[in-house]
Amino acid sequence: MLGFSKLVSSPGSLRVLAALLTYPDAEMRGYLPEMRELLGREAALSAGRLIELEALIAALASADALDTEARYVELFDRGRATSLHLFEHVHGDSRDRGPAMIDLAQTYEKAGLHLAPGELPDYLPAVLEFVSTQPPGEARAFLGEMAHIFNALFNALQERASPYASVLGALLELAGEQARPVKLAVEPPLDDTWAEPPVFDGCSSQGQARPGQPQPIRIIRGINARQGVSS
């Protein structure tokens, strides 16, 4: 990821939005005043959206640190609907996910950007930092290609009454899109998602039929692999 020192010295609403979606540890929260100042100075977002983002920043700054971190993990790390890993929404567990990851990582390397240790290339904050390095026209096009994912995340976060929805709303605004209501799929409990299928009872507990039953085909929208990281 790009360091916060670069974030605060380089105006850019995209980088602020990327930072707001990262784990809210003490270091991240320490830069909240600078993030607020950058958003106001650049004025790339509507007044209403800026008010929402200021409310999120104020909540992150004033809430109990442990509670804030626990809520972040519960929100973004325990379910697909609010996952910040873009290919989770596009490829799921399909075989296409691996090659897409490789292509995206290579895109970063060609741009001279490198992932932080343990960070996956489709992590949304990393993607946004990469997009922030692109010329304005290309950056807007990248955001437009991801708008359907932003919209799904926006709806999922609103359903949970999370102030983080303001970040996704801001991304849609920067992409020149408007948030639209979508029907969200009911997610199985996390333990059920990770459960192993019974032996010889079909190939998979998700998306596969038992022997002799029709196999459903799912068609999902693709995503351009030219997205995201940090330096």
Residue range 136-149, pLDDT digits in tens: 888 888 899 999 99
Task: Quote the domain boundaries for residue 128.
Answer: 4-194
Q: What is the pTM of this model?
A: 0.73
The tally of CA atoms less than 13 A away on the side-chain side of residue 211 is 4
Residue 230 in this model has a pLDDT that exceeds 80: no
Residue range 55-100, pLDDT digits in tens: 999 999 999 999 999 999 999 988 789 999 988 877 556 576 777 7
CA end-to-end distance (rounded Å), the chain: 6
Per-residue pLDDT at 115: 82
Residue 214 maps to a domain: no
Per-residue pLDDT at 179: 78
pLDDT band at 222 (very low <50, low <70, confident <90, very high): very low
For the chain, the domain total comes to 1
Residue 134 maps to a domain: yes
Residue 221 maps to a domain: no
- What radius of gyration do the chain's Cα atoms show? 19
Residue 169 maps to a domain: yes
